Each structure stands twice: as C-alpha cells, then as structure tokens.
Amino acid sequence: MPRYFFHVDDGAIHTDEEGMELSGLDAAREHAVCYFAELLRDAPRAFWGRGEWLMRVTDAAGLVFFTLDFVATNAAAGWGASRHA
C-alpha cells in the first residue's frame, strides 16, 4: 500500500514524518478532509487568528498529490463585528 504524508501549515509548518499507509489516492483524499476537519474543529480561534490553513499531501519523496486550502475572508460588515444584530 502507498504511504501518504499530510503536512499542515497553520502559521507554523507541521511536517508529517510518519505518514499513513492507505489503499490509494481516493482514501488519501478522504483522510485529508477528515483530518483537516478535525484540526479546524479543535482550534477554531487559532484558524481565525490567521484566516488561512493549508495541507499538502505528498509521497515520501515529497511529490505533491494534492493540497487542501481553507481560507476565510471577512466581508466589510464582518470587520470588528463580534455578534449578529
């Protein structure tokens, strides 16, 4: 089975040194989405502090298979607003 590595940039680079053996690219995509969702769920304030996180999924040689980008953009009405009217 191929081994995939899930590297995260949330303002700091977190290099996945261990990786995970998965059945193929579809399984790696599923894992990446679930893993990213878990990271966002566990640290929503940290995400909003930066507003952009990135995950690169690679093989052991560093060949990038795909990336996930999660970006938030405040609209003009959202700047400084702490609650809904």
Kindly state whether residue 84 falls inside one of the protein's structural domains.
Answer: no
**Is 16 in contact with 34 (CB distance < 8 Å)?**
no
Kindly state whether residue 42 falls inside one of the protein's structural domains.
Answer: yes
| pLDDT one-digit tens code per residue, 61-80 | 999 999 999 988 777 776 66
Kindly state whether residue 73 falls inside one of the protein's structural domains.
Answer: yes
Question: CA-CA distance, 9 to 14, in Å (whole number)?
Answer: 6
Task: Indicate whether this model's pTM tops 0.85.
Answer: no
Owning domain of residue 74? 3-78
For the chain, the domain total comes to: 1
Kindly state whether residue 10 falls inside one of the protein's structural domains.
Answer: yes
Mean residue pLDDT across the chain: 88
Q: What is the DSSP letter of 78?
A: G
